[in-house]
Amino acid sequence: MADSPGTLRMLGQLSSVGMSFVLALAMGFGGGHWLDGALGTAPWLSFLGFFLGLAAGVLNVYRVMRATSGTALPGPGGVAGKPGKGAGMEGGSSRSADDRGGR
């Protein structure tokens, strides 16, 4: 079975999505639960931690899915570049010459 390194990398990223989602939820809820015990605010910080963990998990799944689909998230300044390269670096900018002030 001859798989390219890109395919293996994509499979590795996709296989870790579920674990990272659950880990983000557990960390958010665990941190909120611990703060509830320390501050006596039960159950409010547990709820807050759970929803922050949920948001972090969804964001992580979104980023992995965008990375494996071949499109990049917008970089600084709202310019989408190639994954792993910032906007303005060689090959990383998708702006036209007009956007950069050229003719």
**Using one digit for the tens of pLDDT, what is the confidence trace for 26-75?**
999 999 999 999 999 889 999 999 999 999 999 998 988 888 776 555 55
In a domain, 43, yes or no: yes
Residue 89: closest CA among 72, 75, 103 = 75
CA distance 29 to 19: 15
Number of domains in the chain: 1
CA distance 20 to 22: 6
In a domain, 55, yes or no: yes
In a domain, 27, yes or no: yes
In a domain, 85, yes or no: no
CA distance 75 to 60: 16
pLDDT reading at 101 higher than 70? no
Give the ranges where the chain is alpha helix by DSSP (H): 5-15, 17-39, 44-68
Strand-pairing partners, residue 26, are none
Tell me the pTM: 0.59
**Domain range spanning residue 58?**
13-78
